[in-house]
Structure 1
Amino acid sequence: MKPLTITASHAPAGLVLEVAGDLDHTNAQRLRHSAQEAALPPGGLLAVDLSKLEFCDSSGFTALIAVRNHVVADGGEVVLVAVTANMRRLLRLTGLDQVFDLRDTVAPRTDR
């Protein structure tokens, strides 16, 4: 089991939370708290970088949904960035690929 680390940083597009290690029932609450403590301005963009996520169980998915709901309730947007192939597969199987905006990078979209 890899310990969970969550690192907050700023990018031109908004706030980035890099999630690394294992996101499971023992630590999923930490992701919720990190997103709430990140002080995202209303209407802001929160990018959750999953490039270093090695494992995610149902509690991790629930935490991601809770983070999204919290940010959206404040008029913001959540994107999942650098999602691994395995995680994309799980998101597709659960239908969460229809809920989350999946992007390769944190860069702002230019197709709007």
Structure 2
Amino acid sequence: MTDRTLAVTLPPADAEIPVVGVAGDLDYHTASELRKALETVSFPAGSGVVIDLSGLAFCDSTGITVLIAAYRRAQAAGSALLLAGANADLVQVLRIIGLEEIFSLHPTVDDAIGALNQS
């Protein structure tokens, strides 16, 4: 059995644009950690939250479900949810299942922040 771990880095409470870092494996065993962490993040109306996936090694359907829930929470708050640094495999899965239409995908956190600042 593989020992799966997930590390979530939360932004400071006063962050103008919150950036949540996610590293490791986001799967059935670890998705609740990200879900709980995202519940503590403020989704600012008229702005957005960036989830930095550059450290993510693996993501299954349970992890994608957590990202969809975060997207819905952002929409309800009048906020945007941007994904940054997703690896090619995850981007391909998101495209195949049609989620590239709802997620704003960016190669880096800086690109995502730049996109928020332009809107």
Q: Give the alignment partner of residue 94 of structure 1, picking from 94, 97, 102.
A: 97
CA distance in 1 between partners of 2:114 and 2:99 (Å):
21
Kindly report structure 1 stretches of 4+ aligned residues shifted beyond 6 Å.
none
CA distance in 1 between partners of 2:101 and 2:16 (Å):
22
**Counterpart in the other structure of 1:108:** 114
CA distance in 1 between partners of 2:74 and 2:61 (Å):
20
Trace 1:16-35 onto structure 2 (pairs within 5 A): 16-35=19-38
Deviations 1:29-81 (CA, angstroms, capped at 9, x unpaired): 22122111023333331101110100111100000000111111111110000
Q: Shift in Å at residue 111 of structure 1?
A: 5.8
Trace 1:74-89 onto structure 2 (pairs within 5 A): 74-89=77-92
The answer (yes or no) to whether the contact 2:43–2:77 under 8 Å persists in 1 is no
**Counterpart in the other structure of 1:4:** 6
TM-score for the superposition, normalised by structure 2: 0.83
* Residue ranges of structure 2 left out of the alignment (5+ in a row): none
TM-score for the superposition, normalised by structure 1: 0.88
Q: Which amino acid aligns with 2:7?
A: T
Q: Give the alignment partner of residue 73 of structure 2, picking from 53, 62, 70.
A: 70
Q: Shift in Å at residue 4 of structure 1?
A: 0.3
Q: What is the aligned residue count?
A: 112
CA distance in 2 between partners of 1:33 and 1:19 (Å):
13
Higher relative strand content: 1
Q: Give the alignment partner of residue 44 of structure 1, picking from 32, 43, 47.
A: 47
* Residue ranges of structure 1 left out of the alignment (5+ in a row): none
CA distance in 2 between partners of 1:55 and 1:84 (Å):
9
**Counterpart in the other structure of 1:60:** 63
CA distance in 1 between partners of 2:67 and 2:57 (Å):
15
